[in-house]
A = this chain, B = another copy of it.
């Protein structure tokens, strides 16, 4: 002990022969590294829990639902009512309880339908087989299991079925195999079917109640936020990268600049949320039968804008130096166009999130188009009016190669404007199908004020951008 103290704190492990051995530097290092890895894992987990309280609440909800269902085992009267099959209630809760209401409902419906269909078919096949005599019975049962399992598995590859009934097909295979196979031994098929269905009913109702009553997470609302957030991020990215490019002292944060990448990667999330949202009852501002599939179209339009912004980012990072004088001349028009486009994107996000009929969009799209026209005119005039600079003498011809990056940026901005217009069309489609309300006069006034305020803010921003440009 004294020797140990002399050497300071030390790591020791017990060895098989009863003595203890000091850990070598290397393995101690390994242990430290392992501990720090575990530490950082828990840190990350903690951050997820803190940043997304909805997810933490979901975990507690699963715990609550399981506790509720396990009461069926603890209370004797219930236990005797549902019998050993109560296990199926626990299983249903574990398997069916999902993050969003839509996903849970979809799984509940799938599970119930799959079980019912397969149960009816299983009893039918079992009856036919029992009529066929002892010799053919196992053959008929085996063949039916083989054929139906093959067919149901195949149906899971068909996109339209995979999207909505994948889980149901699996439950169908499971139930049919279990029934037609166990029916050979257990003679009380109907009783078993009755028990299975009642326990599944208990499990699904506990799930549905827990998921809807306590802090529900609606797939529709999540999709709604995902789409509007993506539009907002796209708008900020576009604005940020164009302003940064044309003025040296504007510094948009990396996070804002990279915002468009969220839109690039959200196709799968959008599609699955839209599929789940279709199962959900009316909630919040959304009726049952809200055109969720149209949101997928809007998402695709957003992505098509995002691809262009990606290319724009790429060409802005190219090393080619542009003379400041051209940058200044073009900058005015490019920043103006990108401001107009991002304003349209922002307004579309507002339309989607407030669900009011778009009133200003047409006007803003026209403004955007006129900005496109101005930029095109600037391109036209550039070669006709030689620009006076310190470097270039009067009458000098503009060297094309000097403006190549600017021309590219300009035409990508024009392309982005065209795609933004298409996006506006897609949003209009949603507004019509979902019958967005018209603003009442009071709301309109409020909106006017708000928009007025916004417009002033926006012009301020434009002015700022122009000023920074003129300083260059």
Which residues of chain B are near A184, meaning CB under 8 Å? 73-74
Partner of A408, one of B150, B181, B384, B407: B407
Q: Establish whether residues A63 and B146, one from each chain, have CB atoms under 8 Å apart when the complex forms.
A: yes
Partner of A400, one of B63, B95, B173, B380: B380
> Is A403 interfacial (CB 8 A cutoff)?
yes
> Is A419 interfacial (CB 8 A cutoff)?
yes
Partner of A307, one of B74, B173, B307, B404: B307
A172-199 contacts to B (CB < 8 Å): 173-174, 177-178, 181-182, 184-185
Which one of A308-316, A427-435, A459-467 contacts B?
Answer: A308-316
Known A-B contacts A70-B142, A383-B398; the reply to A411 vs B415 at CB < 8 A is: no
Query: How long is the Cα–Cα vector from A408 to B376 in the complex, in angstroms?
Result: 14
Partner of A404, one of B66, B268, B379: B379
Query: How long is the Cα–Cα vector from A418 to B67 in the complex, in angstroms?
Result: 58
Query: How long is the Cα–Cα vector from A468 to B105 in the complex, in angstroms?
Result: 60
The count of residues in chain A whose C-beta lies closer than 8 Å to any C-beta of chain B is 84
Query: How long is the Cα–Cα vector from A469 to B196 in the complex, in angstroms?
Result: 73
A35-54 contacts to B (CB < 8 Å): 41, 44-45, 48-49, 52
A376-398 contacts to B (CB < 8 Å): 376, 379-380, 382-384, 397-398
Q: Which residue of B lies closest to A93 (CB)?
A: B177
Which one of A153-161, A204-212, A234-242, A291-299 contacts B?
Answer: A153-161
> Is A425 interfacial (CB 8 A cutoff)?
no
Q: Establish whether residues B404 and A411, one from each chain, have CB atoms under 8 Å apart when the complex forms.
A: yes
Q: Establish whether residues B308 and A62, one from each chain, have CB atoms under 8 Å apart when the complex forms.
A: no
> Is A121 interfacial (CB 8 A cutoff)?
no
Q: Establish whether residues A63 and B149, one from each chain, have CB atoms under 8 Å apart when the complex forms.
A: yes
Interface residues of chain A, those whose CB is within 8 Å of chain B, are: 41, 44-45, 48-49, 52, 55-56, 58-60, 62-64, 66-67, 70, 73-74, 79, 87, 90-91, 94-95, 138, 141-142, 145-147, 149-151, 153-155, 157-158, 160, 170, 173-174, 177-178, 181-182, 184-185, 264-265, 267-268, 304, 307-308, 310-311, 314-315, 318, 376, 379-380, 382-384, 397-401, 403-405, 407-408, 410-412, 414-415, 418-419
Q: A314-B419, A382-B400, A400-B407 are in contact. List 7 more A-B contacts (CB 8 A).
A: A44-B158, A58-B153, A64-B146, A70-B141, A74-B181, A318-B415, A408-B411
